Amino acid sequence: MSDYHTVYQTPDGESTEWDDIQRKLGNLPAKPKKQKPPPFSPAEEEAKGAEGVDLKDEAELSDLEDDEEFMDDRFMAEYRKKRMEELRRLSARPRFGSVKEIRSGEFVAEVTNAGSDIWAVVLLFKHGHEACDALSSCLTRLAAQYTETKFMKIVSTDCIHDYPDHNLPTVLIYNNGACKHTLVGMSQLGGQRASPESVAQILSRYGALSTGGGPNRQGSASRHADDDSQDEDDGYSD
């Protein structure tokens, strides 16, 4: 009898049931363990698509100039250039972040002349007025979140002589030196259950708040021309 064993294997190299029986009897050596290759995990710097560019800051985008493979891709090179211009434009925009109290003598400089394409939200208030205090608290939260919008407040009678308390709180929305909208009383500002979120929705409808870190929405103002004309017809009635 010959002193060898025939090993039968399946097409993919796996041993047969006969081999397994022979190994149990000690006639064949133990089956070698399969060596699995490590999972593929591309390095972060290999992400050269548009999504990767969006995640980089200005310094990282500048470093891509040394990446010959990246710069050979005309589309991505142009995309990088536009992204850097966008970041520079955003960094050049003024940032505010708080509600500034002003006096009548400062109104023109702070509000009317706030700057080109700057949205200003002005609260007319009275100290110790419950609704004014509640709305002021909401605006303080929003000012910290929407730093491209200039939030201010002014004592109502300091802004408009003999301004009636029953119209408080009143919010003026300015852009490019003009008053775009006037919101009078809490009924137009979310009611007694007003919250920072509900006030933000109202201001956003009039274009006064920036969205997603981008420029403030200008187009919404035209969609609310009817609302603005209604404000003028109502005057300052609650």
The pLDDT profile of the chain, 238 residues, written as one tens digit per residue, is 555 555 555 555 566 677 777 777 777 777 777 667 766 655 544 444 555 656 666 667 666 665 655 555 666 667 767 777 776 666 656 689 999 999 999 999 999 999 888 999 999 999 999 999 999 999 999 999 999 999 999 999 999 999 999 999 999 999 999 999 999 999 999 998 999 999 999 999 999 996 544 334 433 333 343 444 344 433 333 3
Predicted TM-score (pTM) of the model is 0.55
* 124: alpha, beta or left? (left if phi > 0; alpha if psi -120 to 50): beta
Residue 114's pLDDT is 92
Which residues are within 8 A (CB) of 34 and not within 5 positions of it... i.e. 6 or more apart? none
**Coil, helix or strand for 227?**
helix
Angle between helices 196-205 and 130-145 (to 10 degrees): 70
Domains in the chain (CATH in brackets) are 47-92 (no CATH), 99-234 (3.40.30.10)
Structure token digits, residue 171: 């919010």
Residue 32's pLDDT is 72
CB 136 within 8 A of CB 83: no
Residue pLDDT, tens place only, 202-226: 999 999 996 544 334 433 333 343 4
Residue 20's pLDDT is 75
User: Distance (Å, rounded) from C-alpha 237 to C-alpha 35?
Assistant: 80
Of 213, 220, 175, which is closest to residue 86 (Cα–Cα)?
213
